[in-house]
């Protein structure tokens, strides 16, 4: 069991001041991260350091701007709540925060999925009545390439897709992605290799959707 570590600022005014100086000069490192729960200045530095990356992480997964902003705030609130339990040996602050972001966004997926199911039962075919055929066709054609990619990604296992997205989309290192996904680096490497191989094979076997003949 990992031993409890005393923070520089806990019960020690001088240590607290030294911790704040370190945060101002070098950012929030593993030794200061737990202070985001009690020191506003440390949390502000932590927030400024990571907010753009977390906004991007959420925006790539949630299409609604207002909901994405709400989820970003929820992630940092969850980080404040989880900070007292953070241990430096369990991953760098960035990877730890991405792990929290994954949990919050997964909860949003479940909530949004339930809402969509209810809406679809109520609306039926009303969507087609709200748009004309030409606009629908244009949207389908424009999204064809991206849709093929996401359809291929849907055939990956959830564990493979998580590592692939963290590395290829969110630009985490393999070590950071492993920490965010809660697995060992060697496991993350195997999953990433497997995901890329499957994705490549899927895209090669599935030809691009043909466009309509001009003479038709």
pLDDT in tens, 64-90: 788 889 899 999 999 999 999 998 877
Q: What is the pLDDT of residue 151?
A: 73
Point out the domain boundary residue: 125, 160, 178: 125
Selection from 172, 52, 54 nearest residue 102 by Cα: 54
Pair (24, 84) in one structural domain? yes
Pair (76, 22) in one structural domain? yes
CA angle at 91 for the pair 156 and 187, rounded to the nearest 5°? 35
The conformation of residue 12, written as its DSSP 8-state character, comes to -
Across residues 196-212, what is the average pLDDT? 69
CATH number at residue 91: 1.10.1740.10
Q: What is the pLDDT of residue 188?
A: 92
pLDDT in tens, 143-157: 555 567 777 788 888
Instruction: Determine contact, residues 45/32, Cβ cutoff 8 Å.
Output: no
Would you state the structure tokens that stand for residue 106, as one six-digit string?
């997964």
pLDDT at 56 over 60: yes
Q: What is the pLDDT of residue 145?
A: 59
Confidence of residue 213 (pLDDT cuts 50, 70, 90): very low
Point out the domain boundary residue: 125, 140, 161: 125
Residue 93 lies in a domain: yes
Pair (155, 120) in one structural domain? no
Across residues 110-134, what is the average pLDDT? 49
Pair (166, 202) in one structural domain? yes
What backbone torsions phi and psi does residue 105 show, to the nearest 5 degrees?
-70, -35
Q: What is the pLDDT of residue 123?
A: 43
Pair (108, 41) in one structural domain? yes
Global pTM reads 0.61
The most distant pair of C-alpha atoms in the chain lies apart, rounded to whole Å, by 80
Q: Which domain holds residue 142?
A: 131-209
Pair (155, 100) in one structural domain? no
Q: What is the pLDDT of residue 129?
A: 44
Pair (120, 135) in one structural domain? no
Residue 17 lies in a domain: yes
CATH number at residue 192: 1.10.10.10
Pair (119, 137) in one structural domain? no
Q: Which residues contact 18 (CB under 8 A, 6 or more apart)?
A: 8
Residue 214 lies in a domain: no
Pair (76, 138) in one structural domain? no
Residue 215 lies in a domain: no
Highest mean pLDDT among 8-17, 63-72, 112-121: 63-72
Task: Determine which of 34-38, 42-46, 124-128, 159-163 has the lowest per-residue pLDDT on average.
Answer: 124-128
Residue 1 lies in a domain: no
On average, the pLDDT of the chain sits at 75
Distance CA 178, CA 202 (A): 25
Point out the domain boundary residue: 63, 92, 125: 125
């Amino acid at each position: 069991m990992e031993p409890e570590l005393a923070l520089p600022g806990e019960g020690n005014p001088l240590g607290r001041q030294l911790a704040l100086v370190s945060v101002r000069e070098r950012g929030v490192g593993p030794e200061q991260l737990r202070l985001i729960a009690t020191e506003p200045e440390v949390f502000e530095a932590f927030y400024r350091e990571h907010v753009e990356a977390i906004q991007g992480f959420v925006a790539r997964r949630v299409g609604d701007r207002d909901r994405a902003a709400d989820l970003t705030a929820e992630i940092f609130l969850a980080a404040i709540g989880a900070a007292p339990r953070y241990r430096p040996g369990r991953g760098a602050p960035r990877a730890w925060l991405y792990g929290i972001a994954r949990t919050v966004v997964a909860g949003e997926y479940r909530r949004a999925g339930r809402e969509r199911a209810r809406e679809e039962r109520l609306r039926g075919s009303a969507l087609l009545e709200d748009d004309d055929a030409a606009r629908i066709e244009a949207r389908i054609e424009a999204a064809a390439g991206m849709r093929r990619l996401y359809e291929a990604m849907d055939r990956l296992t959830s564990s493979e897709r998580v590592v692939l997205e963290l590395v290829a989309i969110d630009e985490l290192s393999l070590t950071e992605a492993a920490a965010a996904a809660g697995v060992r680096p060697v496991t993350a490497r195997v999953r990433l290799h497997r995901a890329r191989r499957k994705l490549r094979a899927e895209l090669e076997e599935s030809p691009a959707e043909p466009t309509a003949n001009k003479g038709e």
